[in-house]
Structure 1
Amino acid sequence: MIKKLILFLALFPFVLTAQDATTATDTIVKNDFSASKYHFKLKQVIIPSTLIAYGVIGLNNDDIKRLNADVRDEVLRNEHKERTIDDVTRFVPMLSVYALNLVGVEGEHNFKDRTIILTTSLLITFTTVRSLKAMTDVQRPDITAYNSFPSGHTATAFAGAEFLLQEYKDKSIWYGISGYVVATGTGLMRIYNNRHWLTDVAAGAGIGILSTKIAYWVYPFLKNRIFKDKKGEKQITAMVMPFYNGEQFGGGMVVRF
């Protein structure tokens, strides 16, 4: 059972990115909000909703709790050192969007617009994760705290992975797949480090993906009503990007003149 689960997790990025493969050839015209990514479609929420539902059901389901324990026991069966790479990898997918633009590989949106989308996604992710941690009060597998559900690291990583996918899937679907590989690895490392249960990671992944999808859905409203450019005026872009790692929260500011 555990080996099958590990195999599924290894293929997880390909399953997730496949849902957007059919629209990979769509082209986006600047300020044209007719593309599918800006409109709610039921099929877009099936996978993230399923992941969130699995995590929530697992809070009170004995069978899923036993699976959580089995996965934890399998991981801890052999001695291993805790790795902190997941503290870094959770940010890799989202930062890759900016890095690719810096080296000349342009995504779907300019600096200002993609930062609006990312900030919206992170705000939704942070608020959701923070609220659920306070409401559920689940003890971590390493018994250090009662804020295990859901995984903040995983939510941040998958929010970034979906962001990378949406910005670059028209260039190549492999950008999105690579982001999801990193995000999946981040979730697995949270389990490996005995910081989260499987259900925490599953719910975190769903929250991150759904948060970014919501950010794209509300982007046309934000663009037209709140961040609308005024012709003839020089624009100064300043965006605050919050983060939450499951224990601390903070933020960073980017200013572009």
Structure 2
Amino acid sequence: MKNICLLIILGFFSHGIQAQEMVRDTLTLSEVVPDTQVQGAEVRDTIMNRSSIKPWSLAIPAVLIARGALSIDSRFDHKLQRYVTDNVKGKLRIDDHLQYLPIAGVFLLPNIGIEPAHTLKERVLIGGAAYAMTAVFVNSIKYTVRQLRPDNSAHNSFPSGHTATVFTGVEMLYQEYKHSAPWVGITGYIVATGVGLLRIYNNRHWASDVTAGAGIGILSAKLSYLLFPYTSKLLHRKKERTAGSVSSLGMMAFPTYDATTRGVGMGVVVSF
């Protein structure tokens, strides 16, 4: 995407000014549009061109889901949960809150200068689609399989909703910041894994529930990114996101004042 900015300065000065003084007093583009904004737009376009999801990457969450489904009521599930009930005293409810930490990071990290791959509106759209798919997948499977929880509290154990929620957020976190700050995604996956382990620790889920939940979360986020070229039409955007030019036209006008010459004027930035 190429941006061409035209700067027009219309000045009305109280005294005559020589040509060299006018050159010195003319506002430069860097004074009107901060370098950080121009560079930020260029970086975002570059990142977006590299943040596409490869269809073959869907195999990873698919394997996790299949592994979880094939492990329902397995010997490993019961052996692990028996160890938990025999050795763990007390519960840690922090997983109820940690499940939302990655998606919070998706929207808050730009405030500390970390560049995301998509704009705020685009992240909202991608996140909304991802969590909608997560909710449909998780709840439809829960009330179809009706697996009993380890603590015998309900027949909605498989898959783990907490784990699916946190892995949806962490996959978005990874996709948004993998080029500008790779450590963000790595940290997010550590947190997500911790949430899954806490679901087992708290005797709320079997290991198979957690494995499948992680796969569903990752799959939902990846599908949302794959569908983004189509869902983005909801934003009514006209500019193309492939290598090309910007079709939108923007203009900003603002007053200017030069204390040295006591002159006032107007600056206009046209972007097309």
Common fold: TM-score over 0.5 = yes
What is the aligned counterpart of 2:67 among 54, 65, 70? 54
Per the alignment, residue 45 of structure 2 pairs with 29
- From 185, 189, 192, give the equivalent of 2:198: 189
Q: CA RMSD in A?
A: 2.0
> Could you tell me how far apart the structure 2 residues matched to 1:96 and 1:226 are?
24
Cα distance in structure 2, aligned partners of 1:79 and 1:130 = 29
Contact 1:51/1:205, CA 8 A, preserved across alignment: yes
Deviation, structure 1 residue 41? 2.4
Structure 1 residue 199 displacement after superposition:
0.3
Give the equivalent residue in structure 1 for 2:161: 152
The code of the aligned residue for 1:168 comes to Y
Give ranges in structure 1 of 5+ residues lacking alignment: 1-26, 234-257
- Give 1 or 2 for the bigger CA radius of gyration: 2
1:114 maps to a residue whose letter is R
**C-alpha separation between the residues in 2 aligned to 1:34 and 1:168?**
13
Q: In structure 1, the residue corresponding to 2:52 is in which secondary structure? A: helix
Q: Distance in 2 between matches of 1:137 and 1:76?
A: 22
Q: How far does the alpha carbon of each residue in 1:127-163 deviate from its partner, in whole angstroms, 9 at most, with x for none?
A: 0001000110000000000000000000000011100
* Correspondence for 1:170: 179
The amino acid across from 2:126 in the alignment is I
**Matched residue, 2:133:** 124
Question: Identity rate of aligned residues, in percent?
Answer: 42
Q: CA deviation at 1:29?
A: 1.7
**How far 1:35 sits from its partner (Å)?**
3.8
**TM-score in terms of structure 1 length:** 0.73
Please give the per-residue CA displacement for 1:202-244, whole angstroms capped at 9, x wherever unaligned: 0000000010000000011111x222237689xxxxxxxxxxx
Q: 1:79 to 1:191 in 2, by over 3 A?
A: closer
Using the TM superposition, give the Cα deviation of residue 28 of structure 1 relative to its aligned residue in structure 2, in angstroms: 5.5
Question: Is 1:158–1:209's contact at 8 Å kept on the other side of the alignment?
Answer: yes
- Corresponding residue for residue 37 of structure 2: none
Consecutive unaligned residues of structure 2, counting only runs of 5 or more, are 1-42, 239-247, 251-272
Structure 2 SS opposite 1:142: coil
The AA in structure 1 aligned to 2:99 is R
Q: Is the 8 A contact 1:55 1:202 kept in 2?
A: yes
Match of 1:228 among 222, 236, 240: 236
2: CA distance between counterparts of 1:34 and 1:96?
Answer: 22
Residue 215 of structure 1: which of 213, 224, 229 is its match? 224
Report if aligned partners of 1:37, 1:213 keep a CA contact under 8 Å in 2.
no
- Kindly provide the amino acid, as one letter, of the partner of residue 29 in structure 1: D
- d(CA) in 2 for partners of 1:95, 1:79: 30
CA distance in 2 between partners of 1:168 and 1:181 (Å): 16
- Does the 8 Å contact 2:130/2:220 carry over to 1? yes
Q: CA deviation at 1:106?
A: 2.1
CA contact (8 A) 1:158 1:180 kept: yes
Partner Cα separation in structure 2 for residue 36 and residue 29 of structure 1: 10
Is the contact between residue 65 and residue 211 of structure 2 (CA under 8 Å) also seen in structure 1? yes
Between the aligned partners of 1:36 and 1:89, the Cα distance in structure 2 is: 26
Instruction: Return closer, same or farther for 1:79/1:162 CA change in 2, 3 Å cut-off.
Output: closer
Q: Paired residue for 1:102?
A: 111
The SS at the match of 1:37 is coil
Task: Give me the TM-score of the superposition, normalised by structure 2.
Answer: 0.69
Q: Give the Cα–Cα distance (whole angstroms) in 1 for the partners of residues 140 and 157 of structure 2.
A: 12
What is the one-letter code of the residue matched to 2:234? I
CA contact (8 A) 2:114 2:181 kept: no
Deviations 1:179-211 (A, max 9, x none): 000100000000000000000000000000010
Contact 1:28 1:35 (C-alpha < 8 Å) held by counterparts: no
Give the whole-Å Cα distance in 2 for the aligned partners of 1:109 and 1:206. 24
Counterpart amino acid of residue 46 in structure 1: A
> For 2:71 and 2:208, how far apart are their aligned partners in 1?
6
